[in-house]
Structure formats: C-alpha cells, structure tokens
C-alpha cells in the first residue's frame, strides 16, 4: 500500500480565515513533505519533515505553518493567505532510510482557492 491521503480535497477561504490542511500516511515512512503546485507548473517544495523534525523550509512565508504531530500525520496551517497562494497543495512521504535511495509517494492534493 502506497497511499497518502489528504483532506480536504477542496478549500475556499478568505484572506482573514485560518484553516488547516491534513495529510496522513500509514506506510511507516519517516519523511513527509509539503509541495505547492500552480497550474501548468511542476510542484515546488515547501517543507520537509524528517523523523518529525522540520529539516527543510524553502523560505516559505510565515502565513504557512507546518506541523508534524506524529510520524503518520502532517498538517499545514494557513493564516492570512493571499489570492496568489491559490494552488494545489500536495503532500508526499518517503521512507527516509538514510541510504539516499528515497522514493516519494504523493497524495491527491488539496485544491485551495483564496478569495
């Protein structure tokens, strides 16, 4: 089973709202990722968690706040977003076996629209 689940599938929020995106995997993976994907573009890495610790933050604005409560869950808290933040947000996970041969498995994404 290589399934990564994400909720919600779609989200519409105003610029003053606070919302959260959720991601879950039960493959025993210890690395989890958030990507942002604009239309007709490749995914852009936002954050990487390794063994529940934030290991990479790609200079993402503070209005995006990741959280990894345990090894199976990854959240992305959203606050005071801008319309240009509208995108498909993808979660991925990988084993993080430290031998470098990592395969990332992606969830279906959350389509976010900021009004």
Partner 1 sequence: AQSVTQPDIHITVSEGASLELRCNYSYGATPYLFWYVQSPGQGLQLLLKYFSGDTLVQGIKGFEAEFKRSQSSFNLRKPSVHWSDAAEYFCAVDHGGATNKLIFGTGTLLAVQP
Pick from 28, 69, 83, 100: which binds partner 1 (CB under 8 A)?
100
**Helix, strand or coil for residue 28?**
coil
Sign of CA dihedral 82, 84, 90, 92: negative
For residue 114, the Cα-to-chain-centroid distance in whole angstroms is 17
Which one of 13-21, 60-68, 69-77, 104-112 is the stretch in contact with partner 1 (CB under 8 A)? 104-112
User: How many chain residues interact with partner 1 (CB under 8 A)?
Assistant: 31
The Cα 48–Cα 62 span in angstroms is 15
Q: Of 59, 31, 34, 60, nearest to 45 (Cα)? A: 34
Which one of 14-22, 67-75, 77-85, 92-100 is the stretch in contact with partner 1 (CB under 8 A)? 92-100
Pick from 47, 76, 81, 109: which binds partner 1 (CB under 8 A)?
109
Per CB under 8 A, which of residues 1..60 are in contact with partner 1?
Answer: 2, 4, 6, 31, 33, 40-43, 45, 48, 50, 55-56
**Residue 7 or 55: which CB sits closer to partner 1?**
55
Q: Go through 44-67 and write b for each residue having 16 or more CB atoms within 10 A of its CB, e for each that does not.
A: eebbbbbebeeeeeeebeeebebe
Residues near partner 1 (CB under 8 A) are 2, 4, 6, 31, 33, 40-43, 45, 48, 50, 55-56, 88, 90, 92, 94, 96, 98, 100-109, 111
């Amino acid at each position: 089973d290589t399934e990564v689940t994400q909720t919600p599938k779609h989200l519409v929020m105003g610029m003053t709202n606070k919302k959260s995106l959720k991601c879950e995997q039960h493959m025993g993976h210890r690395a989890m990722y958030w990507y942002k994907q604009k239309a007709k573009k490749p995914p852009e890495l936002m954050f990487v968690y390794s063994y529940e610790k934030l290991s990479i933050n790609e200079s993402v604005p503070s209005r995006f706040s990741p959280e990894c409560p345990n090894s199976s869950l990854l959240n992305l808290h959203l606050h005071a977003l801008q319309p240009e933040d509208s995108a498909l947000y993808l979660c991925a996970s990988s084993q993080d076996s430290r031998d470098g041969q990592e395969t990332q498995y992606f969830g279906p994404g959350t389509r976010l629209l900021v009004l």
